[in-house]
Amino acid sequence: DGVIEEHALKIQNNSTLNLGTAGANRVFTIQVGGNKEAILQNASPGPAVLNISLDTTVTIVKARYGIWAYNGTNTVNNAGTINISGTLQDGIRIDTGSFTNEASGTVIITDPGDDGVNLSGTGSFTNNGALTISLPEGAGTGKNNILAETGSVFTNNAQISMLEGNDPRRIVVSGGEILNNKDAIMDLGNGRFRNEVGGTFTNNGLVVSSFLASGSPAAAVFGTADAGTSTNNAFYNYNDDGSLDFGGGTGIVNNGVNINSDADMTVNAASSCSVNLGIATAYDWFDDSGNNNPVGSNDAAGDISFSNDVFSPAASHPIFTVYGTGVEYTIENLDGDCIDI
């Protein structure tokens, strides 16, 4: 602890730093004065490894960059809790190497001076836990909750929450790639998504936005410009006009559904036990929001044939997936072996 005028932690070539051990409940607080980093990794060429263990908390309250990894094979593995606030530049910047937030990991970034997470060069970030990023409301252009530049990859396998920031630029793909995978949630808060400079965004999970535009038509969750490509293969929850495009861009591919649309979420089985759910990602389905009673699984084309004797006779039946009541279909006019008579 304390204020210093040098990088607080510097991890270099062929070195590994392990912070904490599971069960020890260690807390590390870093405050750096001047134009220095709280944690700097410079593998050159590497490896340089930082492991933050389960039951360990790292709190960064002042620095230029909270965590900056560049030059060589850098690796950050977080199984604990990282709190970063008030940085002059990015909360986390990965130029080369990888950052993995493990299933037990929590990363909270608050009020960075620039981007929350900035991936540049060949940097990668994989979220398997909880990631929350809050920029100042109305942050200027060029300040993003997540930025993926050319050559970088951001992968979400769990939960991301954007609490505040620049409304049209909560997440920006600037030539890089962002994946929201099956079972994952990307919550943009009251903001939107921007894809530009040939970037690629693929949603196989759930994207949520509560953005409400003044005037009509409203700007949408997915915005694409400059030859970027955005593909929705699963679910999005968008409270405005339900459009998938804004700003005159092209490159939108919608193979999924808007869960606020009755037309998308009500499916007529036409006296059969098979339907198409209108999505292009395989999911398991249940007749209860707690996922206790399986009824079948759809394939990558969206087709599902319900299992035998899983529904009682009724005019309509709700089905749910891993998102519980967050994604609910109504299946009407079922008839056949799937009905338990």
Whether the Cβ atoms of residue 210 and residue 240 lie closer than 8 Å to each other: no
What is the side-by-side strand order in the sheet with 15-19?
A: 15-19, 48-52, 74-78, 98-101, 124-127, 153-156, 177-180, 200-203, 229-232, 252-254
- Identify the CA nearest to 85 among candidates 42, 30, 124, 131: 30
At 137, list the tokens: 């409301």
> How far, in Å, CA of 285 to CA of 322, rounded?
8
Mean of pLDDT values over 196-207: 90
Question: What's the pLDDT score for residue 218?
Answer: 44
**Cβ of 17: how many Cβ atoms within 10 Å?**
15
pLDDT at 264 over 80: yes
At 81, list the tokens: 């809790």
Question: What's the pLDDT score for residue 248?
Answer: 45
DSSP type of residue 176:
S
Question: What's the pLDDT score for residue 332?
Answer: 98
At 9, list the tokens: 């932690």
Question: What's the pLDDT score for residue 216?
Answer: 40
What DSSP string describes 211-238?
A: ---SSSSPP-SEEE-TT-EEEE-SEEEE
Question: What's the pLDDT score for residue 241?
Answer: 54
pLDDT at 220 over 60: no
Question: Which has the minimum average pLDDT: 40-44, 221-225, 265-269, 315-319?
Answer: 221-225
Instruction: Report residue 250's pLDDT band, with 50, 70 and 90 as the boundaries.
Output: low
- Identify the CA nearest to 160 among candidates 116, 120, 196: 116
Question: What's the pLDDT score for residue 283?
Answer: 98
What is the side-by-side strand order in the sheet with 117-119?
A: 9-12, 39-42, 67-70, 92-94, 117-119, 146-149, 171-174, 193-196, 222-224
- Identify the CA nearest to 125 among candidates 163, 90, 97: 97
Mean of per-residue pLDDT scores for the chain? 89
**H-type helices in the chain, by residue range?**
262-265
Question: What's the pLDDT score for residue 214?
Answer: 56
Q: What percent of the chain has pLDDT over 70?
A: 89
Residue 120 CA neighbour count, 13 Å, CB half: 12
